[in-house]
Amino acid sequence: MQVQENCTYMTSGAVMPFCKGCGHSNILKKLNEALGELKLDPKDVCLVTDIGCIGLTDALFDKVHTVHTTHGRSTGFATGIAVADKVLAEKRLKTIVLIGDGGSMIGLLHIVNAALMNVDLTVIVANNFLFGMTGGQQSSLTPEHFITQTTPFGNMNPSLDICGIAEASKAGFIARAVASDKDLSGLMAKAIQHSGFSIVEILELCTEHATKRNDLKGSMLAKMAEAEGHKLGILRNDVERREFSVKYAADVQSHLKEMKPPRFIEPIEGHKLKMPVGFIISGSAGERVQSSAGMLCQAALRCGLEVTQKNDNPVTQGSGFSLSEVIISPEEINYTGVSEADFVVVVSETGMKELKAQDIYQRISDKTVFIVDESIELDEVSSKVIKLPLRKMCGGDKASLGALDYVIRNYSLFDHEIFIKLLEKKFGEYSKIFRGEYYLDLV
Amino acid sequence: MQSLRKKVALRSGNQMTAEGAIQAGCKFFAGYPITPASGIYKGMIDMLPLNGGIAISSPDEISALTYCVGASMRGFKAMTATSGPGWALMIETLQYALITETPVVIAVVQRLGPSTGGATQGGQGDIMITEFATSGGYTIPVLYPTNAKECFELTLKAFDWSEKYRTPVVLLTDKEIGMTTESVNYAGLYELSSAERKNIRNSDADIKKWKMYGFDSPDMITKFANVGGEVKVTATGSAHNAMGYLKKNDKETIATLLHLEEKILAHKDEMVEVKKELQDGADTLVISFGITARTLKDAVKLAREGGRKVSSLIIYSMFPIPEREIILSCDNCTRIVVAEENISGQYRKLIEPLFAGKEVVGVNKIGSMITTMEIAERIV
Ligand code: SF4
Ligand SMILES: [Mg+2]
């Protein structure tokens, strides 16, 4: 047990909760010194600790903000804190993650992503090559041949080079040190001072589990790392890369003018419907089926109707069928499916196949009107069937639009002019959107 | 009437959730793509910067929620959105938000499960995993809208509860509500607001007494200390005393854990959101929520047109369960019908004990929406 005296950021007279000789004690002492060297206001420092012995740190630092988190996730929480501080608040905070070797692997993607984002935080990996708190089990940072509780005959895997991962993740400041290094506090101070993501891996001893099973002394740590191909010292110090909030200001906040607030429609009295009208519109992906249905809805909405548009497609959005069920109604619409269609629009064979799979013949009545492309084979039905050369006249990508325009034009559901206006806004002059024959009396 | 209709728009539930969050003062969003919830993510990316906030992408759902909790700890209202598979990953962090009493809103847009299930199919099967996701069985407040407009309203309510009671709140929706676009009348929406966070300051009269997780009555919600603020934060996901220090099983620590539940139960009566339509002489009560509640309305109308007397209850505040409202609604009924799009009647099983001596019937189904006829058939 060691007692720390004259601490600025630590609890004065704090008793280290770690085993005798544990590297954590020294790392924390040096961290305290590093904060002192930087003369940081304690209220501008947040220690985010992970799970494991290193996670006991929060009770030792009673002057600074401490957030003790879940296993491996510390860097994730720290990212949220740091991004919010830098983008939304006063940009004062120094956010420091304390994580063990085990935590650094379970939470690896949080470290990688924080580095890619270049968030202003420092990750200190206290690497004692095993899970200390739970009994000395092998971690992903355990060196090859190292003996742990769960690798009694030596670790079969090489150890992960966490600094190498940080390098590949474009981290700006990367260093590897040994806990007993004379200038450890100076190194930590450099990392904390770095604007953007920094990581310091500190090699240390778990005196409870590592040194009892392996012939290991503190003086051997540097050699051991080198044997694994892991270099020591400051491995990168790139001050050119812009910290996240700086990049965010340049790349996103400078585009605010291009962002559009939600748009609204002012309805007119443009319909005489007394009952809801249900559409089932089916075709192939990539042929504007759902967007055409959307235009039908926009126009109906403008004419003062309630609308719902329920879309369906396979999980891949660009292939297979594309289907919309639309209801337009003078009253509130509850059930959003079309159980008995007034209009069924089918513009491709793929669309027909899907409709059959969805029991289309159970969802029609004598009053149903089919508007289908001439190429489509329908079963014998008692409904009215209108076959049109939609694909020829309108093209595949406007076949459903042509069919819907046909319905609105001929069945006076609502003001056709409104639909025309919408079409013209998107495709130019109405009379030129489809081929000439389309505009002749189609039936 | 005409003036009320002035502002209408075609919107999906997901878009309205995003707009509602912005109206609530949400300033931080982290997202990870998943059908059918991606629309909320996209809505926030497109709109949040314009409203003084930031929306970012995360490399997975675990990151998304940890980012949000971190941002909330720094002092900003935060939200993420996901669906079943992503929700499963977020549960560790949900519990962290719960125990650290950090406000955060999670929109869970349900799809067909289990596992990857059906990305483009709806479902109402995440009720249990949402409510009983915590070790210990703490109440996670859950709100469930039935249409796009209510997505806006209840997202505000979710933020409101989250800040007032310092708790994670789930806005539960489903693919049909989230992705279906529909006409939305904006009348009244921009007049809505949600509670602001109560922060502790050094100049506060109660600063001497204040503790990170302190309380002196079951209903007390202690003031929040922002990381980086003037009052030191000691937050932890481990069982802790009122000061926020890890402790094992002492009285104060157990009391602090119990308070997480107590504080919600103490405010339960303020957390009731239901719509009752009781009919005199009705012997049947039909209960539903979310997308199926819309079908319920059609089914009840159909049954009444056929001369049946039937009452209905739509539940928006799924949790805490609005027990009193449920009991009052079924007063003279002998038959209770609960309709939900999952196989086992998840909510029905939870509320069944409230109907002692009555017949309780489920309408259940997976793969597609429950139809009007499927409910109407059970109103015999
Ligand atoms: S178990 Fe190992 S890591 Fe944990 S305190 Fe003891 S020596 Fe340190
Ligand atoms: Mg370790």
The pLDDT of residue A316 is 79
**Average of per-residue pLDDT across A228-248:** 96
To the nearest whole number, what is the mean pLDDT of chain B? 96
Same domain, A162 and A297: no
The pLDDT of residue A13 is 86
pLDDT bin (cut points 50, 70, 90) of residue A6 is: low
pLDDT at B234 over 50: yes
pLDDT bin (cut points 50, 70, 90) of residue B188 is: very high
Same domain, B185 and B295: no
Higher pLDDT, A176 or B331: A176
- Residue B1 included in any domain: no
d(CA A185, CA A288): 62
Helices (H), A47-195: 74-83, 101-106, 108-117, 162-168, 184-193
C-beta of residue A312 within 8 angstroms of C-beta of residue A267 = no
Side-chain-facing half-sphere of B223: CA atoms under 13 Å: 18
pLDDT at A211 over 90: yes
Higher pLDDT, A317 or A328: A328
Same domain, A50 and A198: yes
The pLDDT of residue A318 is 79
pLDDT at A33 over 60: yes
pLDDT at A441 over 90: no
pLDDT bin (cut points 50, 70, 90) of residue A1 is: very low
The pLDDT of residue B197 is 97
- Residue A10 included in any domain: no
- Residue B264 included in any domain: no
pLDDT bin (cut points 50, 70, 90) of residue B1 is: very low
- Residue A9 included in any domain: no
d(CA B192, CA B212): 30
d(CA A64, CA A10): 8
What is the number of structural domains in chain A? 2
Strand (E) or helix (H) holding A352: helix A349-357
pLDDT at B2 over 60: no
Contacts of B96 (CB under 8 A, 6+ apart): A69, A70, A73, B66, B69, B102, B237
C-beta of residue A244 within 8 angstroms of C-beta of residue A196 = yes
Ligand index nearest the alpha carbon of residue A133: 1
pLDDT at A43 over 80: yes
Q: Which domain does B129 fall in, by range?
A: 7-191
**Average of per-residue pLDDT across B262-277:** 98
pLDDT tens profile B300-359 = 999 999 999 999 999 999 999 999 999 999 988 999 999 999 999 999 999 999 999 999
Same domain, B164 and B284: no
- Residue B92 included in any domain: yes
Same domain, A78 and A190: yes
- Residue B143 included in any domain: yes
The pTM for the full model equals: 0.96
The pLDDT of residue A178 is 98
Same domain, B183 and B285: no
Nearest beta carbon to residue A83 from set B50, B54, B368 = B54
What is the number of structural domains in chain B? 2
Q: Would you tell me which residues 57-76 of chain A have a C-beta closer than 8 angstroms to some C-beta of chain B?
A: 58-59, 62-70, 73, 76
Distance A356 CA to ligand 1 centre (A): 66
Same domain, A67 and A154: yes
pLDDT at A3 over 60: no
Domain end position, chosen among B191, B225, B248: B191
Same domain, A79 and A145: yes
Ligand index nearest the alpha carbon of residue A134: 1
**Average of per-residue pLDDT across A320-347:** 97
pLDDT at A139 over 60: yes
pLDDT at B74 over 70: yes
pLDDT bin (cut points 50, 70, 90) of residue B3 is: very low
Ligand index nearest the alpha carbon of residue A130: 2
The pLDDT of residue A7 is 59
**CATH number of the domain that B129 lies in?**
3.40.50.970
Same domain, B67 and B166: yes
Q: Which domain does A150 fall in, by range?
A: 23-250
pLDDT at A411 over 50: yes
- Residue A4 included in any domain: no
Distance A39 CA to ligand 2 centre (A): 30
Nearest beta carbon to residue A67 from set B63, B227, B246 = B227
How far A147 CA sits from the closest chain B CA (Å)? 30
Q: Which residue of A has its CA nearest to B234?
A: A66
**Average of per-residue pLDDT across A296-304:** 97
How far A180 CA sits from the closest chain B CA (Å)? 29
CB atoms within 10 A of CB A201: 24
Beta strand B317-319 pairing with B142-143: antiparallel
pLDDT at B58 over 80: yes
C-beta of residue A285 within 8 angstroms of C-beta of residue A318 = yes
Domain end position, chosen among B163, B191, B219: B191
Same domain, A225 and A319: no
The pLDDT of residue A443 is 62
d(CA B91, CA B80): 13
Pocket test for ligand 1, best of A24, A203, A211, A212 (most atoms within 8 A of CB): A24
- Token couple for A55: 């996670």
Q: Report CA Rg, chain B.
A: 21
Asked if A259 reaches chain B (Cβ–Cβ under 8 Å), the answer is yes
Pocket test for ligand 1, best of A209, A214, A216 (most atoms within 8 A of CB): A209
d(CA B372, CA B353): 27
C-beta of residue A192 within 8 angstroms of C-beta of residue A217 = no
The pLDDT of residue B12 is 98
Question: Closest residue (by CA) to atom 8 of ligand 1?
Answer: A22
pLDDT tens profile A58-91 = 989 999 999 999 999 999 999 999 999 999 999 9
| Residue A163 three-state SS | helix
To the nearest whole number, what is the mean pLDDT of chain A? 95
Reported ipTM: 0.97
Domain end position, chosen among A232, A250, A268: A250
Nearest beta carbon to residue B8 from set A73, A89, A264 = A264
Asked if A336 reaches chain B (Cβ–Cβ under 8 Å), the answer is yes
The pLDDT of residue A315 is 80
pLDDT tens profile A84-101 = 999 999 999 999 999 999
Contact B245 A267 (CB under 8 A): no
**CATH number of the domain that A109 lies in?**
3.40.50.970
Same domain, B53 and B146: yes
Question: Closest residue (by CA) to atom 2 of ligand 1?
Answer: A206
Same domain, A292 and A396: yes
Per residue in B281-315, is it b (16+ CB within 10 Å) or e — as a string? ebebbbbbbbbbbbbbbbbbebbbeeebebbbbbb
By C-alpha distance, which of A171, A177, A162 is closest to A194? A171
- Token couple for A423: 């079409």
Q: Which chain B residues have a beta carbon less than 8 Å from that of A255?
A: 49
**CATH number of the domain that A282 lies in?**
3.40.920.10
Same domain, A432 and A330: yes
pLDDT bin (cut points 50, 70, 90) of residue B249 is: confident
- Residue B114 included in any domain: yes
Contacts of A12 (CB under 8 A, 6+ apart): A4, A5, A6
Residue whose token pair is 């192939």 = A284
**CATH number of the domain that B304 lies in?**
3.40.50.920
Domain end position, chosen among B167, B191, B215: B191
Residues with CB under 6 A from ligand 1: A 18-19, 22, 24, 53, 128, 132-133, 206-209
CB pairs under 8 A between A and B: 223
pLDDT tens profile A370-384 = 999 999 999 989 999
pLDDT at A5 over 70: no
End-to-end CA distance of chain B: 38
Contact A85 B15 (CB under 8 A): no
- Residue B269 included in any domain: no
Beta strand A233-237 pairing with A173-178: antiparallel
Helices (H), chain B: 13-23, 38-47, 61-73, 84-99, 127-131, 148-164, 175-179, 251-266, 290-305, 323-329, 346-351, 372-376
Q: Would you tell me which residues 216-235 of chain A have a C-beta closer than 8 angstroms to some C-beta of chain B?
A: none
Q: Which residue of A has its CA nearest to B50?
A: A256
